[in-house]
Structure 1
Amino acid sequence: MAKAAEVKKLNRKLMDFLDGSVNAFFAVENMKNILVEEGFLPLYEGEDWKLKKGGKYFVTRNGSALIAFVLPEKSFKGFQMMASHSDSPVFKIKGDPELEIDKAYIQLNVEKYGGMICSPWLDRPLSVAGRVLVKSVKGVETKLVNIDRDLLIIPNLAIHMNREVNDGYKFNAQKDMLPLFSTIEGKGSFKKIVADAISVKEESILDWDLFLYNRQKATILGGKEEFIASGRLDDLQCAFSSLQGILAAKPKESVALHCVYDNEEVGSGTKQGADSSFLKDVLHRILYAFGMGEEEYIKALQNSFLVSADNAHAVHPAHLDKADALNRPYMNKGIVLKYSANQKYTTDAVSAAVFKSFCEKAKVPYQSFANRSDMLGGSTLGNISNSQVALNTVDIGLPQLSMHSPYETAGVEDTYYLVEVAKLFYSSSVLGRGDGNLEIKY
């Protein structure tokens, strides 16, 4: 049993991270600030990299994806990597946002990003955050903006006018999910609110990537305070745990890398997604900085291991039949290894055996997940990353309920479990030749 005080302290830290990470841009900004405080140096893809053995560095792409790494004090043989993602299903504000309704109301014009549960977005305070591109003396400047107040609401239609709402209602994104912004008197004020929040003139704004977010803060709940509830647990709970691991990393024979991609919820096919060259580029540049080339890269991948960390489905207390007959993960019972015969998850016997070894060494429980054989599941980062960087990979996650809701539920002890494994993993090595026989050096 994890120590209660440590578990509580860690989850309070996670709650602060979640509350400040209202979307992918803010999640990466928060990680950057934490890394800088811990002595990590920023790198930029458009500049030369001068790396030192024992150094700690990070690089971002698009402001919404990040890779941090710690170099050993001596020569290295491979890479120990953990990947998660920064984005969550959400509503994105369109470029021309204000819709005048019946000469009485102003709604904001939004579209769906990712596959969300729509109903929990209704009848709760919402606001807007993201990035704004503004004119600058040199050209274009990016500014993060968070309208940190209750600004919007998506009102339900009264049951008297929608008697079928409790019988399985199909929400129309263009009709039912547009947030109410103002009465007609507020027409034309949205852009000004955004401009004022970043202290620029309206005419300085060139474009933006703005998203709605749920204003409800993260909380710990349950009869024994065993659950954590928050927006964006998928996948910031894993990203936070991986971050804690890299901060404690003391690698010996492998480079430790904390990778956080964007756009997982929409297929990862962007320059900052898992299907991009981001990780491959970073690995090559680390090798180039020490005078190594393509052959060393190929050999290094056989001495490397990737943990694809994206939250998993816990058994739902009201829908026991939705889970597999035997592979049934529960919250606070340990890290989940995900299996799929069609390779939507990359876990195989080799990668599972390695990860189980880390769990056992760290004295952390683990569970298994597989979809019912008559139900399709989702996919995640592992198989997509492998199309760019092919190496032994395991798909894992922390069990949670209400996945893709704007307010999700998970277990407090599971955060602790993943942090403990991440600390061990980042300070270890998995060495091999490509024949399935691996040496684990802790």
Structure 2
Amino acid sequence: MLDALSRITNSFNSSNTKLVDKAIQQSFLVSADMAHAIHPNYMDKHEDNHQPKLHGGLGIKHNANQRYVTNAITSFIFREIAERHDLPIQPISQNKRYVVRNGMPQLIPSNPVALIKSNILSTQLKLKILLEPLSWWHSNKRSFHKGVDTGVQESVGQFFKRHFGTEVVDYMIDPFVAGTSAGDPESLSMRHAFRQLWNLEKK
């Protein structure tokens, strides 16, 4: 890739050795391939939010586990480029989001009832989540646990690992944070990202 860019920029101005660096800084790399369009005879075989149409425009691939590098910033830039050149974009429904667990896509639950019925988390962890409010009340009443030191900048990932373990971070918090803020739960501040939960624990 670098060799190709060097030859292209040298064809314009071979005397400017910094032209390649400037080109890279001002460039936007797009990883493109073919999307499988929906088959008109087997429409029921496709997920509701995965139905690319033939000649329906460009498709932007998203994945809650960030198996694609698409995020809020790159998606916006790509859409802006397409709009400037009058290129249509495939409509994408965000009603359903999936994560991959054990090699299979799992629907992210949208409510507590769906969470209990889903296979995205283990039965033991589901029970722990249901009992967590009681655990907070019990621990605060006996003053055994008041959370981490308020002087420590705890991340979103650290907070949920402390309460529920790694599993809930990998399959619930990480996809949620990636989808809403294109961020990393280990780098986001719990105090600022989830202020209400942070304050609730301190009471």
Structure with greater proportional strand content? 1
Q: What TM-score, normalized by structure 2, do the two folds share?
A: 0.37
Q: What TM-score, normalized by structure 1, do the two folds share?
A: 0.19
Structure with greater proportional helix content? 2
Higher relative contact order (CA 8 A, sep 6+): 1
